[in-house]
Structure 1
Amino acid sequence: MNTFGRIFRITTWGESHGKAVGCVIDGCPSNLKLSEEDIQRELDRRKPGKKLTSKRMEEDRVEILSGVFEGKTTGAPISMIVYNRDVRSEHYVKLKNTPRPGHADLTYFLKYRHRDWRGGGRSSARETVGRVAGGAVAKKLINAFGINVLGYAIEVAGIRWERDSDDYHEVFQRAERSPLRIPDESVSERAEERVVELMKEGDSAGGVVEIVATNVPPGLGEPVFDKLSARLAYAVMGVPAVKGVEIGSGFRLAKMKGSESNDPIVIRDGKVRLEKNDCGGILGGISVGETIIVRCAIKPTPSISKRQRTVDIEKMEEVEIEITGRHDPCIVPRAVPVLESMVALTLADFMILQGLIPKSLSE
């Protein structure tokens, strides 16, 4: 399943060490102003080669091949391509018969009996280039209707930051200045120190990302089996390395009393609102008009240089391996724009489904 969405759909394609990666978008309304710069801005936030990321030096320059004419979408499929330039497959030759623990190597082999072992092939996080490119278009579309999707890290390597403001835009701007996308400078520095320590030990770190969507109108989501919350969980759980998701106060709600978890309904500025937002902007699977809050647990990067136990699937014997190459010691900061994209794609799809975005923006 390489396609995501019902009406606003993206299909991603390409492998980590193949010639290129990219995506095709179908169902985007016509007359949306769109340029390669709009896409590039988001891809630059995801690309490797920065502090505490993989040293794979990819420019990730995007080319729009179709669906845009004279600076506007035409309603036709939008095809985008990003060429892989800095590929070093030699690091993986010795691992082609020894599946790496924590990776999809084993399950791809068991399912297909044949796989692209170069850098993980299709299961590599390199595939997310197409998601971010598609998400950039979704963001541009829903931004036109006042919706913003913003992400940042709230925990890295066991060091947690507690949100200190409900001004999500200001929090986001602070996070973008941090190598780990943590909004607090002192917390970020402590987390960086810990990640560096783990790197020296040949190990890696995970964390938690929070994604918020502001100005989402009420009414998005379809009972009973097409809830907005269910679709968001499906969207973010499909991102590599995500192993858990919660909406609003999530698992903390399990420790509360009903009188504590229920969000009182009030009138504010002449509108029906919630006094607080433990529900994370969704009730009964339908958006209520408050900020939508989604948190994602990101596992530690499985490619580590410590010796690990696995099997040689050709010789059918247990062996130990050491993984070399260029890998992120912590995938959390680069996961942020990917998760933002999946949330934006989900909201764009529901907005069109609900009839809040017309087939042509000139209507």
Structure 2
Amino acid sequence: MSGNTFGKLFQVTTYGESHGKALGCIIDGCPPQLEISTDDIQFELNRRKPGQSDVTTQRKEDDVVEILSGVFEGKTLGTPISLIIFNQDQRSKDYSNIKDVFRPNHADITYQAKYGHRDYRGGGRSSARETAMRVAAGAIAKKYLNLKGIHVDGYVSQIGSISADEIDVSNAKSNKYFFADESKLEDLDIMFAELIEEGNSVGAKLGVRVTNCPIGLGEPVFDKFDADLAKAIMSINAVKSVSIGNTHNMLDLKGSEVRDEMTTAGFKSNNAGGILGGITNGDLIELEFIIKPTSSIKSKGQTINADGEEVEVEVTGRHDPCVGIRAVPIAEAMVNLVVMDHLLRNEAQCGMIDQASPFKK
């Protein structure tokens, strides 16, 4: 299957299926002498792994990562880094009743149509379980970027009809919903208790912010920084839309109101979301995206089977009532990969050019 590699200079190739023996990735292009350990990677994986709370899938996976190559005496060698996680709690029998049935709003029917053969156990390659390796690779990019003072933070701003009144990114680090407004936690508890009882699901809106991103990252045409961000986020399971900068009321504003005017001290506003002409402008980068409700739910639905017959399907197994919750560390990882790749590309092409901010300090 093509399309399993992300990035140009900092390249990540993932492999493995949801219910296969293992998941893995190869990272090529990581600079040498970066101090990295399994603890650095495990910390990020633990934020994403299933079975951590009563509002996520109860599949129990420790997601213990092993470094197979590319690191020696605690430092990267500059050679390919190989990471692997062995699956432990597959319970593939949960999916035996749907091996010849296409789940509505799922990738079953498109995989079957494209390849003529598919792994029906938990969605196989299309499962969000694949994203564990993105998080593992993103942890290495994060370590490098943090040393440069660049930080990527994600959060949830809306789940179902419950929306944050104010965004406080620090709140997202201290609750099981990754929610940016702690005043809504009780409402979320009530909603999720009802969803779990009903066997249903809801969607979510998430955000990611990049602080202290250098000016000058990105290319002016096909490899615009915002275009690569959008592709990275859209590659995450169940994402249906991505927006960058102020898109909430942009259609109500005129050009004179939307443009980010400048003074010697910097931009007076940030409607552009930190990117102009596909190139970072040194301001805060802000993006939002929407994740659809989980497709695998217990309530019966109409579909067709492999023989083309109309049937009803009832999905069993362990599923998230909102996949958006565990998507926060995944989104952070993908944004870290984009920033890392563009940072290395920019250093390779423009390393001798002074890209300091034109604004006065």
TM-superposed deviation, 1:159: 1.0
- The whole-number CA distance in structure 1 between the counterparts of 2:349 and 2:148 is 8
Partner amino acid for 2:345?
L
Partner residue, 1:198: 195
Partner residue, 1:353: 345
Partner residue, 1:132: 135
Is 1:221–1:286's contact at 8 Å kept on the other side of the alignment?
Answer: yes
Say which of 335, 339, 346 aligns to 1:343: 335
Say which of 300, 303, 311 aligns to 1:319: 311
TM-superposed deviation, 1:172: 3.2
Partner residue, 1:9: 11
TM-superposed deviation, 1:263: 1.4
Partner amino acid for 1:46?
R
Partner amino acid for 2:286?
I
Superposition map of 1:231-242 within 5 A: 231-242=228-239
Is 2:165–2:181's contact at 8 Å kept on the other side of the alignment?
Answer: no
Q: 1:348 to 1:74 in 2, by over 3 A?
A: same
TM-superposed deviation, 1:163: 3.3
How far does the alpha carbon of each residue in 1:7-49 deviate from its partner, in whole angstroms, 9 at most, with x for none? Answer: 0000011000000102110000000000000000000000011
Local SS of the residue matching 1:333: coil
Q: 1:358 to 1:72 in 2, by over 3 A?
A: farther
Superposition map of 1:1-363 within 5 A: 1-51=3-53, 52-164=55-167, 171-268=168-265, 273-313=266-306, 315-355=307-347
- The whole-number CA distance in structure 2 between the counterparts of 1:172 and 1:40 is 22
- Larger displacement relative to structure 2 (184-193 or 85-94): 184-193
- Larger displacement relative to structure 2 (185-194 or 77-86): 185-194
- The whole-number CA distance in structure 2 between the counterparts of 1:358 and 1:99 is 50
TM-superposed deviation, 1:130: 0.8
Root mean square deviation, CA, Å: 1.5
How far does the alpha carbon of each residue in 1:83-115 deviate from its partner, in whole angstroms, 9 at most, with x for none? Answer: 100110001111011011111011000000100
TM-superposed deviation, 1:241: 0.8
- The whole-number CA distance in structure 2 between the counterparts of 1:234 and 1:247 is 12
- The whole-number CA distance in structure 1 between the counterparts of 2:350 and 2:257 is 40
How many residues matched?
Answer: 348
TM-score scaled by structure 2?
0.94
Runs of 4+ in 1 over 4 A off after TM superposition: 356-359
- The whole-number CA distance in structure 2 between the counterparts of 1:72 and 1:235 is 27
TM-superposed deviation, 1:357: 11
TM-score scaled by structure 1?
0.93
Local SS of the residue matching 1:179: coil
**Identity score, percent:** 50
